[in-house]
Structure formats: structure tokens, C-alpha cells
């Protein structure tokens, strides 16, 4: 009983989100299923950033890059299922470039969409963290990296579809089969939904285990950790790779649901959006990331039609106000409020505390 009482409010909110996402396909149109399917991949992406930012304190201004790599890999794989896609033949190439050959097999594309982000994160993390690049410098490098990635993708039109993105994905997705039958959009929705639950549980596990404790310690007081026989660079690099894997996986899931990949879902602006989700929802409890991603995207979807360009200014002002007045975000502030209430409540009932001590 006391254990149930100790569950923090964020867990209930997470449960409510899951229930809501579970029933959406039963009560709404196929169009809404697609929209919410996209939101689920965004939520997974936000969880990935929360592992990095919330747990290890490493804000990443270019996090969408890993989502982008995942979605480009799977997107290209889908686009080349039925021969050379239009954007490649327009570019003047007549046969598939050798480096895309592994993508002809969708299964290996799925593995690569997670593996490539991991490898890039390990390499980048090794250089950044072993060089003791910290704080602002780290942030700057992540931003520079995504900006150059964006330029690179847009520039390599022949291989990436450039600014207009990758077309012909839908026909590739149609060829995929699970247990002999075609995977519908509803199936993809539930694949994403189940993945989300597993990744959320994975995050909670990561938060609890010793590895999680050590990255919290690094976030709190990195110099001190070094004197306890841990190399912070190793732990930060691994955290970076884990979060990149989650983001790459989310990017992969995005492809069959959205049927479209472009720089809009992997560049600087999108990285900005991920930061905004976490700033709004709050970091470090995973529910904040989910609420932020869902809330901001839902509002964007409904309000951008009404307010047009003004919507983004409103979003910017909201972000500014939240940063100034509620730096822990919506859910972070809520959890803190609940904690303070409990502490004050238990002070009044001193006896109850001793009872609990005895139980433990």
C-alpha cells in the first residue's frame, strides 16, 4: 500500500498517455492514426534526448540528426525496393551506388538505421568527451554538426533527394510483409506504440541501475566522479550512443508512418523543436519528455492552421516564459510540487515516518 502511495504523479500521467494512445485507432480516422503515429515516433525521439539531457545533463542542440540518419537509411531502403528512385535517376546515375547496396534488404536497413547512429555517436562522443569538451563548447559542436549535416544532405541531391526529400517510399513500404501479410498503417501504429512502451520501461530501468546512478553523479559533479575510479568520458560516450540508438530507431519508425523523409524532420529546425518539447515538459523523469512532445505537436497541429505564421512566434514566447518562470518544465514542476507537499505532509505526521522506516 505504501508503495503505491510513493508512486510519483509523473507515472500516472505516463499511464494516461499510454491508454490514450492505445485507444486512438479505435475512435478516430485513419488520418488521425497517421498523425498520432508520427507523434509516437516524436515521443520516442524525445525520450532519447531525455536520456542524454535529463539523465546525463548533456543538452544536444542537434539531436534530430540521429532521427534523420535513421529515417534516411530506412527511407532510401524503401525507395530503392522497386528499382532506382526518381531523384537518383534525375541526378544522372544509372545504377545503385555501392554504398546503398546493403539497404536493398529491408531487414539490414532496419539494423543499420540503429547501428549507424550508434557508430557516429561513439566516434563523435569519443572525440568530444575525451577532449574534455564540456558545457557550452559541447552544445556548440552539436549545433555545428547538425547544421553541416543539413547542408550536406541538401547538397547531395543525387543520393538524398536534396531539399525536396525522398519520394517513392510508399511503394517500398507496401512490399514489406510480417508473417506473410502486408503491414497496414494501423499495424505500424501499434508497432510504434509497443516500441514506445518498451523504450519507456527501458528508460526507467536505465534511470535505476548503477549505470544511471553514475551518469547522474557525472551530471551533478563530474570532477568528483573521476576520483571514484570512473572515466566520465566513457560513460558520457555510451550514454550518447544509447540515446542516438533510440533516436535512430524512432527515425526508422517514422518512415512507414509518414511515407516521407526530408530535412524538415532531421535538420536544425527539427532539432530545435526537440529541445522545445523537453524544455516545455521538463527533463529527467521521462514523462515530461512525452508530455512535451505530445502537447507541443498537438497544439502545433491544431493551432498552426488558425494562427498561421504567428503560431511559431507564440511558441517562441511560450518557450521563453517557461524557461524564465518554470525552468523545470510542466511535469518537472508538478513532480517537485508533489514532493514538497509530501515532505511537508510527513513532517506533520512524524509517527508515520518512523513506521515507514521500520518497514524499510
Partner 1 sequence: MELLVSQIINGLTNTAVLFLAASGLVIIFGLLDVVNMAHGEFIMLGAYSACVSINQFHFPFIIAVLTAAVFTGIIGAITEKFIIRRLYGRVAETLLATFALSYIFQQTIRSIFGPEDQLMALPINAALNMGNIVIPIYNLLLIVVSILILAGTMLMLTKTKFGMQIRANVQNRTMVQCLGVDSQKIDNITFTYGSMLAGIAGALIAPIKSVTPDMGLSYIVDSFLVVVLGGLNSIFGSFLGSFVISESSTVMAGYMSEITAKLLIFIIIIIIIRFKPQGLFFAKDKR
Partner 2 sequence: MFLELKNLTAEFNGFKAVDKINMVIEKGETRVIIGPNGAGKTTVIDMLTGKTKPADGEILLEGNNLAGKTPYEISDKYKIGRKFQGPNVFDNMTVYENLEVALSGHNKLLQTFFFRRTSTIKKRIYNILEKINLVTQKEMLPCFLSHGQRQWLEMGMILAQDPDIITLDEPAAGMTDDETYKTGEMIKEIMHDKTVIVVEHDMDFIKQIAKTVTVLNQGKILAEGTYDEISHNPEVIKVYLKTDDEGPV
| DSSP output for 223-262 | HHHHTTT--HHHHHHHHHHHHHHHHHHHHHHHHHHH--B-
CA–CA distance, 336 with 100 (Å, rounded to integer): 49
Identify any residues that bridge with 166 across adjacent strands, giving them in sequence order.
261
Q: Angle at the Cα of 76 (from 70 to 79), degrees rounded to 5? A: 140
Helices 329-348 + 287-307 axis angle, to 10: 130
Under a CB-based contact definition with an 8 Å cutoff, are residues 160 and 91 in contact? no
Only one of the segments 35-43, 88-96, 198-206, 270-278 lies at the binding site for partner 1 (rule: CB under 8 A); that segment is: 270-278
Tell me how many residues contact partner 1 (CB under 8 A).
41
The pattern of x and - marking residues 137 through 156 that bind partner 1 according to CB under 8 A reads x-xxx-xxx-xx--xx--x-
Q: How far is the CB of 227 from partner 1 (least distance, A)?
A: 20
Q: Which does 224 bind (CB under 5 to 8 A by kind): partner 1, partner 2, none?
A: partner 2
Cell numbers placing 31: 488520418
Under a CB-based contact definition with an 8 Å cutoff, are residues 252 and 71 in contact? yes
Q: Kindly tell me which of 22 and 148 has the beta carbon lying closer to partner 1.
A: 148
In sequence order, which residues have a C-beta less than 8 Å from that of residue 269 and are 6 or more positions away?
Answer: none
Q: How far is the CB of 252 from partner 1 (least distance, A)?
A: 24
Q: How far is the CB of 357 from partner 2 (least distance, A)?
A: 8
133 near partner 1, rule: CB under 8 A: yes
Q: How far is the CB of 188 from partner 1 (least distance, A)?
A: 32
Under a CB-based contact definition with an 8 Å cutoff, are residues 280 and 330 in contact? yes
Q: Which does 305 bind (CB under 5 to 8 A by kind): partner 1, partner 2, none?
A: none
Q: Kindly tell me which of 68 and 232 has the beta carbon lying closer to partner 2.
A: 232
Tell me how many residues contact partner 2 (CB under 8 A).
23
Strand, coil or helix: what is 181?
Answer: strand
348 near partner 2, rule: CB under 8 A: no
SS3 content of the chain, % helix, strand, coil (to 5): 80, 0, 20
CA–CA distance, 284 with 167 (Å, rounded to integer): 37
Q: Kindly tell me which of 186 and 217 has the beta carbon lying closer to partner 2.
A: 217
Q: How far is the CB of 219 from partner 2 (least distance, A)?
A: 8
CA–CA distance, 292 with 283 (Å, rounded to integer): 10
Q: Which does 136 bind (CB under 5 to 8 A by kind): partner 1, partner 2, none?
A: partner 1
Q: Kindly tell me which of 231 and 264 has the beta carbon lying closer to partner 2.
A: 231
Q: How far is the CB of 112 from partner 2 (least distance, A)?
A: 24
Cβ burial 77-91 (10 Å sphere, 16+ → b, else e):
bbbbbeebbebbeee
Under a CB-based contact definition with an 8 Å cutoff, are residues 275 and 61 in contact? yes
Only one of the segments 156-164, 187-195, 224-232, 263-271 lies at the binding site for partner 2 (rule: CB under 8 A); that segment is: 224-232
Under a CB-based contact definition with an 8 Å cutoff, are residues 255 and 173 in contact? yes
Q: Which does 79 bind (CB under 5 to 8 A by kind): partner 1, partner 2, none?
A: none
52 near partner 1, rule: CB under 8 A: no
**Of the residues 128, 238, 250, 257, which one makes contact with partner 1 according to CB under 8 A:** 128
In sequence order, which residues have a C-beta less than 8 Å from that of residue 114 and are 6 or more positions away?
Answer: 70, 245, 248, 249, 252
The pattern of x and - marking residues 174 through 213 that bind partner 2 according to CB under 8 A reads -----------------------------------xxx-x
Q: Which residues bind partner 1 (CB under 8 A)?
A: 59, 61, 124, 127-128, 130-137, 139-141, 143-145, 147-148, 151-152, 155, 268, 272, 275-276, 279, 309-310, 312-313, 315-317, 319-320, 323-324, 327
Q: Which residues bind partner 2 (CB under 8 A)?
A: 209-211, 213-214, 216-217, 219-221, 224-232, 234-235, 238, 357
Amino acid at each position: 500500500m505504501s508503495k503505491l502511495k510513493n508512486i510519483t504523479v509523473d507515472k500516472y500521467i505516463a499511464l494516461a498517455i499510454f491508454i490514450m494512445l492505445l485507444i486512438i485507432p479505435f475512435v478516430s480516422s485513419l488520418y488521425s492514426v497517421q498523425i498520432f503515429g508520427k507523434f509516437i515516433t516524436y515521443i520516442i525521439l524525445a525520450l532519447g534526448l531525455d536520456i542524454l539531457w535529463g539523465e546525463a545533463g548533456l543538452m544536444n542542440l542537434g539531436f534530430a540528426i540521429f532521427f534523420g540518419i535513421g529515417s534516411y537509411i530506412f527511407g532510401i531502403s524503401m525507395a530503392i525496393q522497386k528499382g532506382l528512385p526518381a531523384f537518383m535517376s534525375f541526378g544522372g546515375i544509372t545504377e545503385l551506388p555501392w554504398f546503398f547496396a546493403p539497404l536493398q534488404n529491408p531487414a539490414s536497413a532496419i539494423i543499420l538505421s540503429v547501428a549507424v547512429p550508434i557508430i557516429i555517436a561513439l566516434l563523435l562522443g569519443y572525440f568530444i568527451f575525451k577532449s574534455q569538451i564540456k558545457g557550452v563548447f559541447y552544445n556548440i559542436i552539436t549545433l555545428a554538426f547538425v547544421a553541416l549535416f543539413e547542408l550536406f544532405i541538401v547538397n547531395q541531391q543525387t543520393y538524398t533527394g536534396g531539399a525536396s526529400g525522398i519520394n517513392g517510399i510508399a511503394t517500398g513500404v507496401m512490399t514489406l510483409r510480417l508473417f506473410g501479410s502486408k503491414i497496414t498503417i494501423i499495424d505500424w501504429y501499434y508497432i510504434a506504440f509497443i516500441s514506445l512502451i518498451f523504450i519507456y520501461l527501458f528508460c526507467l530501468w536505465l534511470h535505476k541501475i548503477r549505470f544511471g546512478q553514475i551518469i547522474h553523479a557525472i551530471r551533478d559533479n563530474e570532477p568528483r566522479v573521476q576520483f571514484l575510479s570512473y572515466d566520465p568520458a566513457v560513460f558520457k560516450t555510451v550514454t550518447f550512443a544509447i540515446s542516438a540508438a533510440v533516436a535512430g530507431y524512432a527515425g526508422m519508425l517514422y518512415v512507414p508512418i509518414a511515407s516521407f523523409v526530408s530535412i524538415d524532420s532531421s535538420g536544425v529546425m527539427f532539432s530545435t523543436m526537440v529541445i522545445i518539447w523537453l524544455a516545455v515538459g521538463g527533463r529527467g523523469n521521462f514523462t515530461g519528455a512525452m508530455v512535451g512532445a505530445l502537447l507541443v505537436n498537438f497544439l502545433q497541429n491544431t493551432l498552426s492552421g488558425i494562427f498561421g505564421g504567428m503560431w511559431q512566434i507564440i511558441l517562441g514566447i511560450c518557450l521563453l516564459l517557461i524557461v524564465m518562470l518554470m525552468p523545470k518544465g510542466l511535469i518537472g514542476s508538478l513532480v517537485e510540487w508533489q514532493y514538497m507537499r509530501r515532505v511537508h505532509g510527513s513532517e506533520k505526521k512524524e509517527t508515520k515516518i518512523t513506521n515507514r522506516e521500520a518497514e524499510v
